[in-house]
Amino acid sequence: MPTSGPDAMQPALRRRRRRRRQGFLLPFACLSAALIAAALLPGAAFADGVTPSEARRLRDEVKDMFYHAFDGYMQHAFPLDELRPLSCQGEDSLGGYALTLIDSLDTLALLGDKERFDAAVEWVGKNVRFDINKTVSVFETNIRILGGLLSAHLIASDYATGMRIQSYDDQLLHLAADLAQRLLPAFDTPTELKYQITSTAGGGTLTLEFGVLSRLTNDSVYERVTKNSVRGIWARRSKLDLVGAHINVFTGEWTQKDAGIGTSIDSFYEYLLKEAYKAAMHYLHHDPWYVEVNMNSGATVWPLFNSLQAFWPGLQVLAGDVDPAIRTHAAFFSVWKKYGFTPEGFNLATSTVQNGQRSYPLRPELIESTYWLFKATRDYRYLDVGRDILASLQYGAKCPCGYCHISDVETHQQDDHMESFFLAETVKYLWLLFDLAAGPDNIVENGPYKYIFSTEGHLLPATPQIALLDEHCLYAGAFCNGTAGHGYGTGDSSNKHQNANSVPFDDSRTPSNQSLSNILSTTRGYIKGVCPGLTHAQKLGISYSAEEDNSIQQNSGSSENLDESYVIKSSVQAQSSSVILISHPVASQTEEPTSGRSQYNANIVATAESVGTDTASASSHPEDLVKETESVSEQKEINDKEIASQGSQPTEGRYLT
Q: What is the pLDDT of residues 104-125, one digit of tens each?
A: 999 999 999 999 999 999 999 9
Contact 269, 261 (CB under 8 A): yes
Question: 644: which DSSP letter?
Answer: H
My answer on whether 181 and 54 are in the same domain is: yes
Q: With bands split at pLDDT 50, 70 and 90, how would you rate the model's confidence at 37?
A: low
> What pLDDT does residue 595 have?
37
Contact 573, 537 (CB under 8 A): no
My answer on whether 382 and 362 are in the same domain is: yes
Top pLDDT among 654 and 202 is at 202
DSSP H or E run through 37: helix 25-40
**Residue numbers belonging to the annotated binding site for Ca(2+):** 455
**Exposed, middle or buried: residue 540 (CB in 10 Å: 0-12, 13-18, 19+)?**
middle
> What pLDDT does residue 33 have?
53
pLDDT tens readout for residues 365-408: 999 999 999 999 999 999 999 999 999 999 999 999 999 999 99
Q: With bands split at pLDDT 50, 70 and 90, how would you rate the model's confidence at 577?
A: very low
Whole-number Å distance between alpha carbons of 451 and 55: 23
Question: 394: which DSSP letter?
Answer: I
**% of the chain surpassing 90 pLDDT:** 58
Q: With bands split at pLDDT 50, 70 and 90, how would you rate the model's confidence at 190?
A: confident
pTM value? Answer: 0.70
Whole-number Å distance between alpha carbons of 247 and 266: 15
My answer on whether 351 and 387 are in the same domain is: yes
Q: Is the pLDDT of residue 525 over 60?
A: no
**Residue numbers belonging to the annotated binding site:** 455
Name 459's Cβ contacts closer than 8 Å, sequence gap at least 6.
Answer: 106, 109, 110, 151, 154, 155, 443, 444, 451, 452, 453
CA dihedral sign, ordered 156, 103, 97, 84:
positive
Q: Is the pLDDT of residue 505 over 80?
A: no
Mean pLDDT of the chain: 74
Q: With bands split at pLDDT 50, 70 and 90, how would you rate the model's confidence at 203?
A: very high
Q: Is the pLDDT of residue 279 over 60?
A: yes
Is there a domain that residue 442 lies in? Answer: yes
Q: Is the pLDDT of residue 218 over 60?
A: yes
Is there a domain that residue 634 lies in? Answer: no
Q: Is the pLDDT of residue 482 over 80?
A: no
pLDDT tens readout for residues 291-344: 999 999 999 998 999 999 999 999 999 999 999 999 999 999 999 999 999 999
Domain count, the chain: 3
My answer on whether 402 and 428 are in the same domain is: no
Q: In the chain, how many H helices and how many E strands?
A: 23, 23
My answer on whether 413 and 443 are in the same domain is: no
My answer on whether 93 and 214 are in the same domain is: no
Whole-number Å distance between alpha carbons of 62 and 85: 18
Q: Is the pLDDT of residue 427 over 80?
A: yes
Is there a domain that residue 3 lies in? Answer: no
> What pLDDT does residue 311 have?
98
From 468, 484, 499, give the residue that closes a domain: 468
Q: With bands split at pLDDT 50, 70 and 90, how would you rate the model's confidence at 488?
A: very low
Contact 494, 218 (CB under 8 A): yes
My answer on whether 181 and 194 are in the same domain is: no
Q: Is the pLDDT of residue 556 over 80?
A: no
Is there a domain that residue 296 lies in? Answer: no
* Catalytic center residues: 140, 266, 344, 365
For residue 148, give the CATH number of its domain.
1.50.10.10
DSSP H or E run through 281: helix 273-283
Top pLDDT among 127 and 574 is at 127
My answer on whether 239 and 181 are in the same domain is: no
From 402, 418, 434, give the residue that closes a domain: 418
Domain region containing 179 = 50-187+421-468
Q: Is the pLDDT of residue 568 over 70?
A: no
My answer on whether 355 and 413 are in the same domain is: yes
From 383, 418, 453, give the residue that closes a domain: 418
My answer on whether 62 and 169 are in the same domain is: yes
My answer on whether 347 and 443 are in the same domain is: no
Is there a domain that residue 238 lies in? Answer: yes
Whole-number Å distance between alpha carbons of 41 and 36: 9
Whole-number Å distance between alpha carbons of 318 and 579: 7
Is there a domain that residue 130 lies in? Answer: yes
Is there a domain that residue 153 lies in? Answer: yes
Contact 369, 313 (CB under 8 A): yes
Query: Which range (183-197, 207-221, 329-343, 359-373) has the least confidence?
Result: 183-197
> What pLDDT does residue 391 have?
98
**% of the chain surpassing 70 pLDDT:** 63
Whole-number Å distance between alpha carbons of 203 and 154: 25
> What pLDDT does residue 202 have?
93
Query: Which range (148-157, 483-492, 505-514) has the least confidence?
Result: 505-514
Q: What are the C-alpha distances in Å from 101 to residues 97, 202, 447, 454, 588?
A: 9, 23, 23, 17, 44
Whole-number Å distance between alpha carbons of 225 and 423: 30
Is there a domain that residue 333 lies in? Answer: yes
Give a three-class secondary structure readout of 455-522. CCCCEEECCCCCCCCCCCCCECCCEEECCCCCCCCCCHHHHHHCCCCCCCCCCCECCCCCEHHHHCCC
My answer on whether 328 and 443 are in the same domain is: no
